[in-house]
Structure 1
Amino acid sequence: MSSDDFKFVRRSYFPTMIFQVDVPDPKPLNQSLLKAIYAERERDRKGINRSNLPQLGGWHSHNNLHKSDTYAGLVDLINKATARISEDLGYADSHELRIGTMWSIINPPGSANRAHVHPSCLWSGVYYIQAPKDCGNIEFIEPRTVHLMNQAKFQPNKKRSKENWTKVRFTPTAGRMLIFPSWLYHAVDPNMSTAEGDASNRIIVSFNLNQVKA
């Protein structure tokens, strides 16, 4: 019997979803956010500096930026994106995805973020405000235990299918938002930008999401 003699079906289950949102004209929003974030750093130069943070270098704001009117434009963008996610996934109409915590990070050259997850929430996200060349890709890591077992051998010099990747990277792009499961391990490469002064900083806003009653 050859393989042509029987029915062969591949079924894929348990996907890991990452949603990408690109703002058509992010410059006005990003300029406003840059001003607000630098003002926040000036007000609180120390920021949050806990030993259990995955952040290696840089400045981390407090976690309640979403409660400030200064960030209303970004909050509105996040809410519109999460409404689309809820619809896409068939979430209950009785609940909405809403921001529980939101913070900013300024990562100058040399700073990075080691692999981590975000406990006690459903989804997490990052919005890129300033992303100079070589400022550090975000890397998402295979969440299943398959990478702890024996590794398959693949055809040399041939790109693997996405189903067989063990890591995926996104290059930071100003005006881009990524929303991913909070349990998905992710890390950020060191900022290797050679831009001058503050232009070399990778500046982002991150947030955590949970379902709340509508």
Structure 2
Amino acid sequence: MTRTIAQIETDAGTDELRRDDYFPTLIYSSMLNDRASLNEEILTAIYAEREKDTTGIERSNIRALGGWHSHNNLHKEQAFSNLTKRVNKILTGVSSNLGYDTASYLTISTMWSITNPPGSSNRAHVHPGALWSGVYYVQAPEGAGNISFTDPRTEQIMNAASYLPNKKRKTECWSKVNVKPVAGKLLFFPSWLYHSVAPNLAQGEGNEAERIIISFNISQRKRQKKK
């Protein structure tokens, strides 16, 4: 969308300065209205998974610091079906907003849980093989660690601009975006967008101090034609 941002006075008269915003990086979010009861249900299912596999797998999480990562097919398990259906339902809004082909639909292709006790974090990474990715915060005590999205443009490794000191930059000029985790919040972001998670600095001991999430990858699939 083109918009006028300034009228510049010159010796020859007034010149109009206009701006077009192209190639935006989009992040969608939603606060689920029944998050309290849903999170209680999901926590029970996550703890059951962790009891079956106490070691877990190591990917973006740092297992040596206590992070636990489940297998990647939680969306196929009945215990997580309510969340899976809910996410897929909300994804219809993303498809509609972006004007995706109605002959296709967005759906979860892989889903897993990560638990981060105090001191643990997640390395910067992307999610190959998917169109969108997402995270749902099941438990996020104060200080649990922000998720950080890094500017993917090559500008940051070429010649970064200088900005006015002690003045907040416009959001389109940020090189990193930090989002505070809140229990019940759902985020969708492009799978190619680098993201990391700061160390969990929550106070306390035991399960209540853990940052607990459900993450997922999202693919676009063709609808089957009715016979």
Q: Name the TM-score, length of structure 2 as normaliser.
A: 0.90
Q: Is the 8 A contact 1:54 1:115 kept in 2?
A: yes
Rounded Cα–Cα distance in structure 2 between residues aligned with 1:127 and 1:161: 27
Rounded Cα–Cα distance in structure 2 between residues aligned with 1:196 and 1:56: 19
Q: Does 1:212 align with 2:221?
A: yes
SS of alignment partner, residue 27 of structure 1: helix
Gaps of 5+ in 2: 1-8
Name the counterpart of 2:20.
Answer: 11
Moved over 4 A (4+): none
> 1:128 is matched with which residue: 131, 137, 150?
137
Ranked by relative contact order (alpha carbons within 8 Å, sequence separation 6 or more), the top structure is 1
Q: CA RMSD in A?
A: 1.2
Name the counterpart of 2:198.
Answer: 189
SS of alignment partner, residue 97 of structure 2: helix
> 1:45 is matched with which residue: 51, 54, 67?
54
Query: Identity percentage over the alignment?
Result: 52
Name the counterpart of 1:22.
Answer: 31
Name the counterpart of 1:2.
Answer: 10
1:136-175 alignment runs, 5 A limit: 136-175=145-184
Rounded Cα–Cα distance in structure 2 between residues aligned with 1:59 and 1:113: 11
User: How far is the alpha carbon of 1:126 from its aligned partner?
Assistant: 0.3
Rounded Cα–Cα distance in structure 2 between residues aligned with 1:152 and 1:48: 40
> 2:62 is matched with which residue: 38, 46, 56?
56
**Bigger mean CA offset, 6-15 vs 124-133:** 6-15
Rounded Cα–Cα distance in structure 1 between residues aligned with 2:204 and 2:180: 17
Q: Name the TM-score, length of structure 1 as normaliser.
A: 0.96
Deviations 1:58-87 (A, max 9, x none): 111000000011111101111111100000
Name the counterpart of 1:91.
Answer: 100
The size of the alignment, in residue pairs, is 211
Rounded Cα–Cα distance in structure 1 between residues aligned with 2:206 and 2:62: 19
User: How far is the alpha carbon of 1:7 from its aligned partner?
Assistant: 2.3
Rounded Cα–Cα distance in structure 1 between residues aligned with 2:27 and 2:103: 24
Name the counterpart of 1:106.
Answer: 115
Highest CA radius of gyration, 1 or 2? 2
> 2:78 is matched with which residue: 69, 75, 87?
69
User: How far is the alpha carbon of 1:138 from its aligned partner?
Assistant: 0.1
Query: Match of 1:2, as an amino acid?
Result: T
User: How far is the alpha carbon of 1:197 from its aligned partner?
Assistant: 1.5
